[in-house]
Structures are given as structure tokens and as C-alpha cells.
Amino acid sequence: MSLPNPNTTLAYLPPTLATQFEVSRYIYAATLGAYIWDIVINLGNDYKLLFHYKMNFSTVIYYLSRLSTLNYILTSLIFQVANVPDCQALQIALGICLVVSQSTTAMLFLLRVLAVWQGNKIISGVFISLWAAVSISSITVPLGTKGAHIGPTQQCINTQVAGYIDSVMITGLINDSAIVAAISYRIMRNCVIEGSFEVRVRTFLGHGSIPQLSRALLRGGQHYYLIAVGSNIVMLLLLKDPSVPAVYHAMISIPAISLINAMACIVFRNIKFGYISADGTTRFPSTDQSPTCLNKQSGNCLPLHVRSKYPQDEDLYSRRTTATEVKVTQVVELDAEYERDASSLPKTFQS
């Protein structure tokens, strides 16, 4: 049987599979374009991080996560569209990029939760173990996938995807969900003076009597992590849905991983630039250098002034300062609810 167009790669695939393969190409290309755009619009921020702020372990992890995620998306697209002499070698290469991307992105999550729960050895041990689980499970990708040429062409397609690769999505979802819950609980415990666990949960959902300012503190940065958790849930559900074609299983991971990395990087930059403190609260502009707290009665005070007293701010997210620098003016975008209540705050907090 002769092919209608033997020079077309997709002619060597069944019509249904060829259509799915072509759709995956478009998704990969769109994801690469979106991620490059995110890098371009943050070039100024990345320049400031590199030259105006102290270069430490967390900054190295940030840049490594950005670079490895970009390489993973790029190599995945090349695997789909380019002529490749050795498909399996490229498959292993993109799998290694995924391992580095997953490990470094999870490390950004880990650094945040360790800063919020500083000094708690149990919490530190649990989340370091979760990070290790995410890193180890990601190794299953280069080990459990195989690629080959499509017919006599030089273009590639996946020929084997092991079932145990699902562990990457499962461990990622558990880790991200646990981090969101741990950070949220920590902030909520410091914002709510008294009440049962049910009251605190209602407060977290926005149905309690907590002031609007405290709610703004509670939600500071958490919505980015919730987007990451949602991406993991969608990816896992589609992977387990038998009605979703096998070609789309690998395709789903590309935009999800890029989105999760982008969310983690947004939170990291906000912490570095002082819009969110390392302990999880939102900072407010103030020239008062004395510790101020919304919840003095509880004894669990979170500082709202510009210069944090938390040691981890100096360690993980510190900025280069000079002897002549005496204060920092920050502009924090607050939601409409906080702005309506701003007039009721003490003068110390009003800009």
C-alpha cells in the first residue's frame, strides 16, 4: 500500500494518532512561547536579583530552576518537531532536564516552608523528606520512557511510557498541597487570637470575623501556590482518565510543569523584593522600625515593618545594603478590601 505523501512524517501514523501528535506539537510550541514571554517580562527583575541582591543558595536554585524548566520545554518541543539522529538519547536528555526542574522548583517551595516554620525540627524533617521523594520520583521519567523514529523518518515519538511515572505527579501533588497547608496554618495561627480549629478554618475561607487586614496577610502569596496545586490535580486527573489518549498524557505535563515553576518563581521574587516577608506575611510600607504586631495578645507576633527581624530574611532572602541606607520604601498592592479598611488602621501602618 502506497502512502499519499511519503515525505510527510504523520503519514506513517494512524490518522487518529497523527491528529493527536499534531495537537501536542501546538501545545508544546505555545507553552515554550508563554514561558519565554514570562522570562522576557521578568528580565529586569532577574537582573536586579543577580546584581543588586546578595547571591546565595536560594538565588542559585532560582536561576537553575528557570534554566532547567526552559531546557525541558525546549527539548520536548525538539523531540516532537525536529529531525533527530538518536531519539532515545534526546529522550534521556529531556528526562534529565525534568529531574533538575522538578528538584529545583520543589526546593523553592521547601525554602519557603522552612523559613515560615524556622526552628521546628519535625516540620523541617517532614518537608525535606517530601522534597527528596519528589526528586527521586522524577528520576523515573528518564528511566521509564523510550523514544524511536517514526517510520523511516528522522522525527521521534514516544514508544513506551512506564506506569510508575505517575509517581512524579502524585509526589508533586502531595508535596505542594502539604506546603500550602503548612504555610496557611502557620499564618492563620498567628492572625487568629483565639477560637477552635473550626473557627480558624472558617477564617481561612474568609467567613470568620478576622479583620480585612489580617485576611490580606493570610492570603499573601498563597494564591500562587494554590495555582500550582490545582495544576498538579488537573494533570493527575487527566493522566488517570482512560478516555484521554496516551499522547496527551505526556503533553499535559509540559504546560503544568512550566506553570508550577512560574508560580514558585513569582513568590521567590516577591520575597526577595520585600513584597512578601520570608515568614509568609505581606509587608506594609512603614518608616517605624519598632516591631508592630496585629496579634500581641496571642504572643505569636508577625512583624509588619519593612526591616524584618527574622534571621531567615537575612540568610535566604537578604539584600545587599550600604552603610548609608537607613530605610526602604515599598509599595505593596493591596486588594480592594484592605484599601477600604486602610483608614481604620493606626497611623503607623498608613502610608
- Mind listing the pLDDT tens digit for each residue in 205-233? 555 545 543 454 455 567 777 888 888 88
**Alpha-carbon gap, residue 172 to 219, rounded angstroms:** 22
pLDDT band, residue 105 (cuts 50/70/90): very high
- Predicted confidence at residue 205, as pLDDT, reads 56
Residue 36 is which amino acid?
A: I
CA distance 12 to 219: 52
- Percent over 90 (pLDDT), the chain: 30
Q: Is 172 exposed, middle or buried (0-12, 13-18, 19+ CB in 10 A)?
A: buried
Position 274 scores a pLDDT of: 79
Least confident span in 12-21, 26-35, 331-340: 331-340
Residue 325 — very low, low, confident or very high, per pLDDT cuts 50/70/90?
very low
DSSP 165: G
Query: Is 338 exposed, middle or buried (CB count within 10 Å of its CB: 0-12, 13-18, 19+)?
Result: buried
Residues 212, 220, 48, 328: is their CA dihedral positive or negative? Answer: positive
Q: Please give the pLDDT value at position 236.
A: 82
Give the model confidence (pLDDT) of 254-306 as tens digits.
999 999 999 999 989 988 887 776 655 544 443 333 333 444 444 443 433 33
Euclidean distance between CA atoms 234 and 19, whole angstroms: 22
Tens of pLDDT, residues 153-178? 888 888 877 778 888 888 988 998 89
pLDDT at 348: 36
Core vs surface per residue 117-126: b (16+ CB within 10 A) or e: bbeeeebeee
